[in-house]
Amino acid sequence: MALEDAKTQVDLAFTRAETRGLAFENAFGGATSFLRRRYTKDLAGADLAITGVPFDQAVTHRPGTRFGPRAIREASTLQAFDPPYGWGFDPLTEFSIVDYGDLAFDYAKVADFPGALTAHIRTILAAGPGTITLGGDHYITFPILKAYAEKFGPLSLLHFDAHSDTWADDDMTRIDHGTMFYKAVKLGLIDPARSVQVGIRTDNPDTLGVHIIDAREVHERGPAAAVEKIRGILGDHPTYLTFDIDALDPAFAPGTGTPVWGGLHSWQAAAMLRGLAGINLVGGDVVEVSPPYDTTGATAIAGAHVAYELLAMYCWRKAGR
């Protein structure tokens, strides 16, 4: 069936009539929506919306993540043929998942960006589906959390990263990808007692009460122990999961702005994400994929895999498994 479909399927991002089902058009051709989902602004009946935020004007080092959403979508064409490995179900067929496209914003009016992104996510949530966002630098999670907190109240934050991004900054107008979770705690968007950061390997003594599972702990105790600890912290509280690709060691994800050695291995991240099936995930993002610093495309491939895992995790809970 797949071989026959490959002969006729092309540009499913625009030509597919349905929002469910696997896709078999050639990975090397066609329009590159995420997992070949249909591009649409019509969210009627949608269970989940993928959206891109090509913003990288909050970085402290190397820019380039504005190209992340495009690269992740392109990398995802390798995955659209099959259900996500190891999950035991097919979310692309069981659920209506659409690609909502990218946020439109004026790159020359940076101060207007946060409000535009919060409104963008608010519009999607008001229509019913959750969101998986493709970044962009990590600052984008802050405006997204504002929209989510409006709907769900203070959230549990599950944060994979090399950096805590909780450096003190009481100026709420500053746009910086290293201080936004400090602000999120101070504004009550997230509950630090029910939040956890995984893969940390840079020093920031004030954790603001957020639980830390650093990279060394994952290496020494293993992913299963980390998953058990994470579950104990999150409980059944509504959770937003943000995955900075620099949580992975630079050997696996060199294309990022602030790489730090000693990071998570790809298999460890995959094991933890799959082990967390059943948490009350209400939304998530993948950020800091910077294609200009990785000519192999491996970082974008990792980002696409993470996004697919988040999609599976979201649908797992929705399916009541």
User: Has 61 been labeled as part of a binding site?
Assistant: no
User: Has 206 been labeled as part of a binding site?
Assistant: no
List, in order, residues 6 or more apart from 108 with CB less than 8 Å away: none
Per-residue pLDDT tens listing for the chain (321 residues): 565 677 889 999 999 999 999 999 999 999 999 999 999 999 999 999 999 999 999 999 999 999 999 999 999 999 999 999 999 999 999 999 999 999 999 999 999 999 999 999 999 999 999 999 999 999 999 999 999 999 999 999 999 999 999 999 999 999 999 999 999 999 999 999 999 999 999 999 899 999 999 999 999 999 999 999 999 999 999 999 999 999 999 999 999 999 999 999 999 999 999 999 999 999 999 999 999 999 999 999 999 999 999 999 999 988 887
Domain range for 176: 2-318
Q: Is the pTM of this model over 0.95?
A: yes
Residue owning tokens 């400090």? 182
What Rg, from alpha-carbon coordinates, does the chain have?
A: 18
User: Has 161 been labeled as part of a binding site?
Assistant: yes
The three-state secondary structure class of 217 is helix
Give the strand order in the sheet containing 196-200.
97-102, 48-53, 130-135, 281-287, 239-244, 156-160, 196-200, 211-214
The three-state secondary structure class of 149 is helix
Q: How far is CA 123 from the centre of its chain?
A: 18
Q: CATH no. for residue 229?
A: 3.40.800.10
User: Has 285 been labeled as part of a binding site?
Assistant: no
215: its two tokens = 């990279």
User: Has 165 been labeled as part of a binding site?
Assistant: yes
- Structurally, the chain folds into a number of domains equal to 1
User: Has 176 been labeled as part of a binding site?
Assistant: no
